A and B are shown apart, each in its own frame.
Chain A
């Protein structure tokens, strides 16, 4: 692969052209007709019964997304940094970590963590009496850890590029001002690197959102799990899944809009 970090073409919002061009109006009519047909011919009577649970599921998904991204990003900073400036063994370790996590499916990592570790825990009865056990026996810590690790690895790769991309001159100028290594890192290098990585954050977070439903396979209840429940209760094939797709579509839209708002808040100067 090429040396530069290639960023996934995640979600790039379409340009806002006029919604009222004639062909758009035509397409919108067709779309409304399809939605109407879907509402009319498909079964939606289950919807009110699950409304509350669906809201809870969406909330759980968002919490998982939020915390796994934040903590993952905190790990991504040192992972990116040591690859650029750290001592050799640490750099190798960080690079190996990124390659392994990015080279294997997250579903496999998740199952390895949950069922693999679970089978190991079963061999140590003393663990069950420890204070950690109430947490270890729940499913969400594993789901969270797995998502967090994956975000750290992908974003760590981005941060490596961002740290390496901060112009040398800026760092040399900081040194010339007599800044210590740590001050320079805190005041110049880190903020500039994060600034450079910001545009990718939106895409990475959307990718992270799209990974969250995997935790449902290890009994964590998120919006996907709630919809699975609907599917099993009603034996409907399409309706719940279509609703789920719509929910994720909205979540992605909100996420992208939020990031665009944030980015507009951060002053940028084209260099």
Chain B
């Protein structure tokens, strides 16, 4: 009998304790909880590695912020930011008009063209004509989803939406989609991997700044200008003092910052 009382009391205590909140001191940096090489991917130690992890470390050190990585599902990353589950997004998120209605962005910290890949055996171009009748895979809530729906949607057989980029790539390798549209750099990492041997780059799509945005920025809540200024200053500083180029060289043989 005592056991039951104790169990119930414990349950209540745990219930209350789980709300026992910790004072906000550190910044929670939202990462998409999925492998997105070469920018962010978990390794076998359970740690996150990649270019954006180095970038985060550099700006947080520069701005003297204590940053902790908090993985969040990509399709819920903006709600997670607005409901204060995380304090900023570093997740290769492009700065677009549409997103600026809901959240704020820092200055851009890298830029990448948008590419389309497909099976090596199939020849087609990365144009609306070339993709006519094809099944195109894109990741949800990305600029690529919007772009593909606008330009390829009318002609394509289907636009399939995936929770993670990795799954879209996997389905391309498995032959379930004919083409995948995504960041050219991320696609390049896939093509260089074992699983990407099946496929090659069909080309980059025609730019549409209204949809594809003007580079990738750190996602922030609206109205937090203080943090935004700190981060912008930090990005400028690491660009100026060579830190940015130093860690970029580990991953890329070109200038990832873009023009």
A residues with a Cβ closer than 8 A to B are 115, 118-119, 121-122, 128, 133, 137-139, 217, 219, 225, 228-229, 231-232, 235, 237
Contacts and interface: CB of A to CB of B under 8 A. Distances in A.
A139 B163 CA distance: 14
B198 A237 contact: no
Nearest to A241: B79
Interface in B133-186: 140-141, 145, 160-163, 167, 170-171, 173-176
Contacts of B102: 235
Given A122-B173, A137-B175, A219-B162, A237 B75 contact: no
Given A228-B140, A231-B79, A232-B75, A122 B101 contact: no
Contacts of A235: 78-79, 82, 99, 101-103
A76 B100 CA distance: 52
A237 B82 contact: yes
Contact of B174 (A118, A217, A228, A232): A118
A128 B171 CA distance: 13
A231 B163 CA distance: 13
B3 interface: no
A121 B78 contact: no
Interface residues of B, number: 25
11 contacts: A118-B171, A122-B174, A137-B175, A138-B176, A219-B160, A219-B171, A229-B140, A229-B161, A232-B75, A235-B99, A237-B83
B160 A118 contact: no
Nearest to A120: B174
Contact of B75 (A118, A219, A231): A231
Interface of B: 75-76, 78-79, 82-83, 99, 101-103, 140-141, 145, 160-163, 167, 170-171, 173-176, 198
B150 to A, nearest CB: 13
Given A219-B160, A232-B75, A237-B82, A118 B170 contact: yes
B199 to A, nearest CB: 11
Nearest to A217: B163
A265 B163 CA distance: 44
| Most chain B CB atoms below 10 A, which of A138, A217, A219 | A219
Given A128-B175, A137-B175, A235-B99, A119 B79 contact: no
A219 B79 contact: no
A231 B79 CA distance: 9
Residue picked from A121, A137, A138, most chain B C-beta under 10 Å: A137
A133 B176 CA distance: 9
B140 A232 contact: yes
B190 to A, nearest CB: 14
A220 to B, nearest CB: 10
A115 B170 CA distance: 8
Contact of B198 (A122, A139, A231, A232): A122
B174 A121 contact: yes
A228 B75 CA distance: 8
A122 B140 contact: no
Nearest to A121: B174
A133 B101 CA distance: 43
A119 B174 contact: yes
Given A219-B160, A219-B162, A119 B170 contact: yes
Nearest to A117: B174
B121 to A, nearest CB: 9
Nearest to B102: A235
A119 B162 CA distance: 16
A129 to B, nearest CB: 11
A133 B135 CA distance: 14
Nearest to A125: B175
Contacts of B176: 118, 137-139
A115 B160 CA distance: 15
Contacts of B82: 235, 237
B175 A219 contact: no
Contacts of A119: 170, 173-174
A225 B161 CA distance: 10
A219 B161 contact: yes
Given A137-B174, A137-B175, A231-B79, 8 more contacts: A118-B174, A219-B160, A219-B171, A228-B140, A229-B140, A235-B79, A235-B102, A237-B82
